[in-house]
Amino acid sequence: MLRTLYKIARTGVVSEPAAKDAAPALEVVGERLRAALVRRLSRSLAIRQVDAGSCNGCELEIHALDNPYYAIERYGVRFVASPRHADLLLVTGPVSRHMEAALRAVYEAMPEPRLVIAVGDCGADGGEFGVSYASCGGVASVIPVDGVVRGCPPTPAELMRGILEVLEIAAGQPK
């Protein structure tokens, strides 16, 4: 136990240095994100993530949002287990035809108002996989999309900025 505490103390808080390598600084993005949440969603944003057929690269980077460097929870953003608890749907693609019905069902299960972000080049337009007998292509071909974060996969900093953009646009609209 002492060893654990010693390691925790020695590690310290690593969340700060994350600001150094993101442009604009991650802290700035985070603070704007927090402000947008205060205006729009009573300080908290619940995200439901759905992999609608990705290669799992996007999932690795979305996961990283929870690591101590990005620690997205400190801005009031958390990932929830059910679409019924979610304000925002983060969808990675391409949407495989075998996931098409499940994705629609998840979208339908969300309370309104609801936001959708298509993540990655595949979520944007099908990416490397395009449209085929097995793939519907981008997320927008299946459910309405409010924003797109491109990249293969997008970095955690790009994901944070993408979430912020969609919230700022949404916050500018009447509730």
Partner 1 sequence: MSTGGAFAWFEAFLADCRGENLLVEEVAGPAGPARCLRLDPEDWGAFARLAARTGLRWCAVWGEHRPPRIVVSACLERAGGYLLARTAVEEATPVLPSHTPHYPAADRPERHLQDLLGVVFTDHPDARRWVRHRAWGESEFPLRRDFPLRREAPGPTPPDADYPFLRTEGAGVYEIPVGPVHAGIIEPGHFRFQAIGEAVLNLEERLGYTHKGIEKLAEGRDAEGLARLAGRVSGDSTVGHTWAACQAMERAAQLEPPPRALALRGLLAKRERIANHLGDVGAICNDVGFAFAWFQFSRLRERWQRDNARVFGHRLLRGAVVPGGTAVDVSPQEHRELAGAAAALAHELDELVPILEENASLQDRLVGTGVLPRETAERLGTLGYVARASGIDRDVRRDAPYFPYDRLEVRVPVRAAGDVAARLAVRIEELRIGLELHARLLDMLPGGAVRVPWRGAAPGAEGLGIVEGWRGEILAFVRFGPRGEVARYYPRDPSWLNWPALEVLIDGNIVPDFPVCNKSVNASYSGHDL
Residue 53 CA to residue 103 CA, distance in Å, equals: 10
Could you tell me the two tokens for 51? 């992999």
Q: How far is the CB of 2 from partner 1 (least distance, A)?
A: 10
What CA–CA distance (Å, rounded) separates 15 from 19? 8
In the complex, the residues that contact partner 1 under the rule CB under 8 A are 3-4, 7-8, 11, 14, 21, 49-64, 66-69, 79, 81-83, 94, 96-102, 104-106, 128-136, 152-153, 155
- What are the CA-CA distances from residue 146 to residues 15, 68, 71, 72, 142 (Å)? 29, 28, 24, 20, 13
Query: The tokens of 139 are what?
Result: 């997320």
User: Least distance to partner 1 from the beta carbon of 7, Å?
Assistant: 6
Least Å distance, CB 28 to partner 1, is 19
**Rounded Cα distance, 125 and 74, in Å:** 32
Q: Which phi and psi angles does 68 have, rounded to 5°?
A: -65, -20
Q: How far is the CB of 139 from partner 1 (least distance, A)?
A: 14
- Between 13 and 173, CB nearer to partner 1: 13
- The residue (of 32 and 135) whose beta carbon lies closer to partner 1 is 135
Q: Which of 28, 102 has the CB closer to partner 1?
A: 102
Nearer of residues 43 and 104 to partner 1, judged by Cβ: 104
